[in-house]
Structure 1
Amino acid sequence: MKTLCIALLVAVVFAEKGHSLWCYRCEDEPSNWNCMKMVKCAETDKFCSTIVTTVGRDKNSSYKLSKKCVPSCTENFIDIGSGSVSTNCCNSSFCNFSGANSVKTSSVMVAGGILASFFYIFRSGW
């Protein structure tokens, strides 16, 4: 089944390669898992965008994720202290697959902490 889905996705992406842009679309979703709806963009749309709105800080934070096709796009990040809004843009089909940059950064920080812990353990010789 996975092979069939991948083959269909490749066929869709390359069938109308001349002008069609495909993006993932969702509106105010709390999870990237809810943002997997594929849509064909209008001919006037040139970008896929991902907008992440974060409310709160640390453990009390939550975020809403919106993805869509847009005719123009400006990347930005606005931090107002009690939350933030991040806009990411890309211009190839299905390029807006990823979720929030803040979530990616957190994953990188966790991985870095784990690596630093291993380095400390091996360096101190247990």
Structure 2
Amino acid sequence: MDLQISVCLLFVLFTAGHSFSCYECMDVTGSCADQTVKACPSGSSKCMSLTTAAQADGISVKMKVKGCAADCMNGSMNIGTGKTSFACCNTDKCNVQDAPDPSHTPNGKTCYSCVGQSCSNIMSCSGSEDRCIKATGQSMVVKGCVSQAICNATTTTSIPNVLSISCCEGNLCNGAKSVTQSMFLCGFLLSFLLLH
């Protein structure tokens, strides 16, 4: 019995000063070569990594982000102008690898997306994107393809400046109504996913 207590006390002593850590970086050149280790704040129990490929006005950008997260999910989201893949894990410094590049292999699912003021563009979903998403702000709409895990996380939490988020399973189930698409709304969705 004394041996069990001694082993337990040794374990507590060796782990008492250990905090949960993740790799951290933000790079818009497509590489997280200069990542650092960061002790996560209280409440953060996961490490995340994401890769975003975006295009606007003929300019392509690839961004990599890593850090601590209170909660996150694995999957991807494609809104036409940008596609993001997320990778999450729950062990110390487990996000050393970058999130994979967003898949471009079609999976047979189709959803509407918005370009300019038209939301009647049909896009092919890829990889694990098995749902259509529609997010609305004040006179702004974002539509596209999303993985179920990401959809579940975004529809159960309120996101600033986003009035509603809905996901559906059928092809083209997110409607074709035309309204203004906003990069601000896209930014709010992405920042929510980064911070949660």
TM-score relative to the length of structure 2: 0.38
Taking the aligned partners of 2:69 and 2:16, their CA distance within structure 1 comes to 18
- Greater share of residues in strand: 2
Taking the aligned partners of 2:78 and 2:16, their CA distance within structure 1 comes to 38
**Aligned counterpart, 2:49:** 50
Give the gaps of 5 or more residues in structure 2.
1-13, 104-196
Residue aligned with 1:33, SS: coil
Q: Deviations over 1:31-73 (max 9, x none)?
A: 1203x211011231100011211124xxx85310111101111
Q: 1:33 and 2:33 equivalent?
A: yes
Check 1:27–1:17 CA distance in 2 against 1; reply closer, same or farther (3 A cut).
Answer: farther
Amino acid at match of 1:27: M
Give the gaps of 5 or more residues in structure 1.
1-14, 106-126
Aligned length: 87
Structure 2 matches for 1:66-105, cutoff 5 A?
A: 66-102=65-101
TM-score relative to the length of structure 1: 0.56
Residue aligned with 2:64, SS: strand
**Aligned counterpart, 1:65:** 64
Residue aligned with 1:74, SS: coil
- Greater share of residues in helix: 1
Taking the aligned partners of 1:17 and 1:62, their CA distance within structure 2 comes to 42
**Aligned counterpart, 2:139:** none
Q: CA deviation at 1:19?
A: 5.8
Taking the aligned partners of 2:40 and 2:79, their CA distance within structure 1 comes to 32
Residue aligned with 1:102, SS: coil
State the percentage of identical aligned residues.
Answer: 29
